[in-house]
Chain A
Amino acid sequence: DIQMTQSPSSLSASVGDRVTITCRASQSIGRQLNWYQQKPGKAPNILIYAASSLQSGVPSRFGGRGSGTDFTLTISSLQPEDSATYYCQQSYTSPPFTFGPGTKVDLK
């Protein structure tokens, strides 16, 4: 099975800061990489699929890059409502479609 790692596990940043989260796959997954946002007590919400495609309705301050094994999620200007945990997920070829361990983003 493909293993996913994320770094950092948590971060604290101020409103307006640029925030970058990294996700790494244990083998090449092309661009089959999704990013989800989850707020406490709520279901996850898709932000980005296919490594860099912004899901309809998601603010343009969210951006994704990468291919192969290394990927990033960037929030260009952190807003208060972005306080959440972010997960990457690989969807390469066939299941299981594993998630990364998550990155918790807090506001300073």
Chain B
Amino acid sequence: EVQLLESGGALVQPGGSLRLSCAASGFTVSTNYMTWVRQAPGEGLQWVSVIYSDGKTYYADSVKGRFVISRDNSKNTLYLQMNSLRPEDTAVYYCARDDYFKDTGYYYSRHWGQGALVTVSS
């Protein structure tokens, strides 16, 4: 059974840093596309970042240069390193395992974690 468990959410001051973890079980992180999506309180979903199985990474413009997505194959864990945090980064952060169909290019987030709350405030 596929399971994703986020951790690391906390209250942090503006300008601070935080690292979120997403521990996976039931599949191998390194052979899948893995995504971070966030949701500010009372707001909609915002796509944040993805790491492909070949290691390529992509970011939303709003976090580019401040956030880094990575994975530890030995721990089967996905990470999101968040630096220079701003109040507008306050959100629940979800990690997700994506399904990707190579022949058609169809792609979606199939399995989701329960979310980790990050609050950026002084």
Interface residues of A (CB under 8 A from B): 1, 31-32, 34, 36, 38, 43-46, 49-50, 53, 55, 85, 87, 89, 91, 93-102
Query: Which of B44, B59, B61, B106 contacts A99 (CB under 8 A)?
Result: B44
Contacting pair B46 A99 (CB below 8 A): yes
A-B contact count (CB 8 A): 68
Residues of B within 8 A of A100 (CB): 44
Contacting pair A44 B112 (CB below 8 A): yes
- Judge if B94 is at the interface, Cβ distance under 8 Å: yes
Residues of B within 8 A of A53 (CB): 106
Query: Which of A43, A55, A99 contacts B112 (CB under 8 A)?
Result: A43
Give Cα A26–Cα B115 distance, bound, in whole angstroms: 29
Residues of B within 8 A of A94 (CB): 58
Contacting pair B45 A32 (CB below 8 A): no
Give Cα A91–Cα B107 distance, bound, in whole angstroms: 6
Give Cα A108–Cα B83 distance, bound, in whole angstroms: 45
Known: A34-B108, A43-B94. A96 touches B113 (CB 8 A): no
